[in-house]
Structure 1
Amino acid sequence: MYLKKPQWTEGITPKASPESESDSPATAVGDLVNSLTTQRVYREVTLALRSGLRDVRAEFSFLRVRGLRSLLKFLRSVAESDSTINLFSQAQSTPELQVVPVLFQHSLKEAEDEIVRNLDHIFGVDPLKITSPSTDSEVSLALRVLEGCCLLHRDSAVLAHQHKAIQVLMNILPTRGVVEQGVCLDALTAIMLDSSANQMDFEALNGIEEVAELIRDKQVDENLRLKCGEFLLLLIGHVNGRDRPPLATVHEDIRRLLGEKSASLIWAASQFGSTLDPEQRLTALHIQARRVLESLDLY
C-alpha cells in the first residue's frame, strides 16, 4: 500500500497555531482534509486486507502464497507511520479483517487436519473438497506475516494464543527446512513478547529444550545455530526480562541444558543494546550470538 498525495490537498496550509483563531477557514479546511485523508487511508487498509485474505483462504498453495506476499508488503508499508499502524489496529477489531486466524486456518494448518475421516463423499453428490498442502515457501511467508501482525498489533498475540500458536510453531521448528526454522524463531519471539499466555505455553511444551538441542548440534546449519543464539538472547533480555512467572526458571533451564559457562555468557550478553540505535542493536545481537556459539563449541 503506497499512498499518493491527493490532488485536492495542494495549496492547503498546515493547521493553524494555537495562537490563531480556532474557527479560521484555514483550520477548518485543514481539519476536513485530515479527516478525508484518514478515511481514504482506512479504506485502502481494509481493501488491502480483504484482497490479501481472500487469496490466503484459497484452496491452492500458489494463490495463498500470492496473498501472503501481498499482506507482507502491506504490513511493511503500514509500519512506516504511526497513523497507518493505528488504522491497521483498528481494522483488526473487525473479525472478517483479522489476519492471524486466517493464517492458522489455512497456511499454518496442521497436516493431520487434512486427513479424510470418512468416505461419505463417494456415495453423495457433493465432491470432496481438496486443499493443496502448504509448501515451505508458504509456511515461511505465513510466519513472517504472523510476526509482523504481532509486532504491529499486540492483540494479535492473543488471537495467536487462541489458535494454539506455540504448539503449531513448535511442530514446525523441528520438521521444516533451515529457512523456515529461522523464520519460526523470529515468529516465536514476536508472539511471546509481552504475552504471558504464550510464554506459559512455550514453557509447558519444553520450548527451551527444543532450541537448546538445535544450538548444541554441530551438524545443524551454522546460520540456524546463530539464530538460536539470538533467540535465547532476546528471550532472556527482552521477551522475559523479569524474574517472575511464567518464565521464572528460564535461567536455570539454560544453565542445565547448555552449561554454566554458556548460560552466564547468555545472561550477561542479553543485557546489551539498551542505549543503542536499532541498527547498532542488531549488530550487537549478531556479535553476541556468535560469542555464545563459540562458547558452546569450546565447552
Structure 2
Amino acid sequence: MQQESRGGGGRSVDGGAATVFDHRQWQRSDEGGSMAELVVAHGRRKMYREVTLSLRSGLRDATAEFSFLRVRGLRKLLKLLHSVASDESLIPLFCHSQSIPELQVVPVLFQNTLKHPKDKPEVTLDHIFGAEPIKLISPATDGETSLAMRVLEGCCLINRESRDLALQYDGVKVLLGILSSLGALEQGACLDSLLSLIVDSSANQRQFEASGGLEGIVKRMKDVETEESTRLKCAEFLLLMLGQVYGEVDPPSATEQRNLSQLVGPNCASLMWAASQFGSTLVPEQRQVALVIQARRVLEALET
C-alpha cells in the first residue's frame, strides 16, 4: 500500500487501481449539509414563531370583556386552525404549542364563551352600587358561541390532547347544556363539536352517556316541531357516532343495540346500524353526500 499526498489531496494505489480523495471536496460537502440543516431549522423556528404570535393575538382578544372583541379573537384562531390543517408541517408545531399553558386554546373557550348557564354570575344592585362592583362581561351571542365551537372542533381534530383539556371543563356536558338554547345553524356547529370530543376519547364518551346525550339528541331528532335542518343534522350526528365510536372496532354489543331500539324502534335502529357503515370506501365528497342520503332515510323511517 502506497500513499502520496499533494496539496490536501491523497492518492492510494492498490493492485494497479488508483483512487483520488479530495479532502476539500468532503469538507465542502459537510459544510453544505450543515448549511441545509441550519436553513431547515431556521424555517421551523420562523413558522413556530408565527404560530405562537397568532395564538397570543387571538387568545388575547378571545378573553376580552366585550363580545365583539372575543369574536375577533375567535376568527383569528379559526383562521390559524385552517392554516394548520392545510399544512402538515404546522401540525406538530401547533400540537407542541398546546402543551404550554398560556398558549392553550380550549381553556380560554370554556372560561370565556362556552359557559354553562349556571356558571354565569348573577348581577344585583349590590354588585352595581357596592364597594367592590362585579366585573361585567357582555354575554356571548349565538354567533360568538358558534365560532367558539368551530374553534373547539378544529383543536380536537388536530390535537388529541385538546379532548383531554375539554374533559377538565366538562366539555361534553356543557355543550349538551347549551344545545337547546341555540339556533339551527349554531346547533349544527354544536353537534360537530360534540362529535370531535367523543371520537377516540373513552372518557368523553362516558360523559356523553352519563349526561343522557344519546337520549337528548334522539328526542330532538324525533320532534316533528323541530326545524327540518336540525333534525337532519341530529340524524347525521347519530350515524357518524354509531359508525366512528360504537362500531369503530367491534360490532355493536347487544346492550347498545337494545338501547337504540328502545329509543327509535327496532326497524329504525337496524337501519341506523346498517347505514352507519356508509361510504367507508368513498372519497370525502361522496361520503358527505351518502351521509345526507342515509340521514334522510332515517327520518323517513321514524315517520313510518
TM > 0.5: yes
Structure 1 range deviating more: 176-185 or 106-115: 106-115
Distance 1:277 1:243, change over 3 A: closer
Normalization by structure 2: what TM-score?
A: 0.85
Which residue in the other structure is 1:4 paired with? none
Which residue in the other structure is 1:15 paired with? none
Give the greater-gyration-radius structure (CA): 2
CA distance in 1: counterparts of 2:231 and 2:120, whole angstroms? 32
Shift of 1:121: 6.7
Shift of 1:188: 0.6
Aligned Cα root-mean-square deviation (Å):
2.2
Which residue in the other structure is 2:173 paired with? 167
CA distance in 2: counterparts of 1:191 and 1:80, whole angstroms? 21
1:77-113 CA distance string (max 9 Å, x none): 1101221011000000000000000000001122332
Structure 1 range deviating more: 182-191 or 285-294: 285-294
Letter in 2 for 1:280: Q
Distance 1:22 1:191, change over 3 A: farther
User: Residue 45 of structure 2: which of 12, 20, 39 is its match?
Assistant: 39
- Secondary structure of the residue that 2:137 maps to in structure 1? coil
Shift of 1:286: 1.4
Distance 1:281 1:128, change over 3 A: same
User: Residue 201 of structure 2: which of 177, 190, 195 is its match?
Assistant: 195
1:226-250 CA distance string (max 9 Å, x none): 1111111111110222588x99843
- Secondary structure of the residue that 1:237 maps to in structure 2? helix
Which residue in the other structure is 1:178 paired with? 184
Letter in 2 for 1:240: Y
| Gaps in structure 1 of 5+ consecutive residues | 1-19
User: Residue 76 of structure 2: which of 70, 75, 86 is its match?
Assistant: 70
> Residues 109-188 of structure 1 correspond to what in structure 2 (within 5 A)?
109-116=115-122, 119=126, 122-124=129-131, 126-188=132-194
State percent identity of aligned pairs.
Answer: 53
1:140-187 CA distance string (max 9 Å, x none): 000100000000000100000000011101111112111111111100
The answer to which structure has the higher strand fraction is: 2
Which residue in the other structure is 1:239 paired with? 245
Distance 1:248 1:130, change over 3 A: farther
Q: Looking at both structures, which has the greater relative contact order when contacts are Cα pairs under 8 Å and sequence separation is at least 6?
A: 1
- The answer on whether the counterparts of 1:242 and 1:248 sit within 8 Å (CA) in structure 2 is no
- The answer on whether the counterparts of 2:74 and 2:151 sit within 8 Å (CA) in structure 1 is yes
| Gaps in structure 2 of 5+ consecutive residues | 1-25
User: Residue 269 of structure 1: which of 239, 262, 275 is its match?
Assistant: 275
CA distance in 2: counterparts of 1:247 and 1:155, whole angstroms? 28
CA distance in 1: counterparts of 2:127 and 2:140, whole angstroms? 25
CA distance in 1: counterparts of 2:271 and 2:44, whole angstroms? 48
CA distance in 2: counterparts of 1:91 and 1:264, whole angstroms? 44
Q: Which runs of 4+ in 1 moved over 4 A?
A: 20-23
Normalization by structure 1: what TM-score?
A: 0.87
Letter in 1 for 2:46: R
- The answer on whether the counterparts of 1:233 and 1:270 sit within 8 Å (CA) in structure 2 is yes
1:280 equivalenced with 2:286 (yes/no): yes
Letter in 1 for 2:240: L
Query: Alignment length, in residue pairs?
Result: 277
User: Residue 210 of structure 1: which of 203, 216, 233 is its match?
Assistant: 216
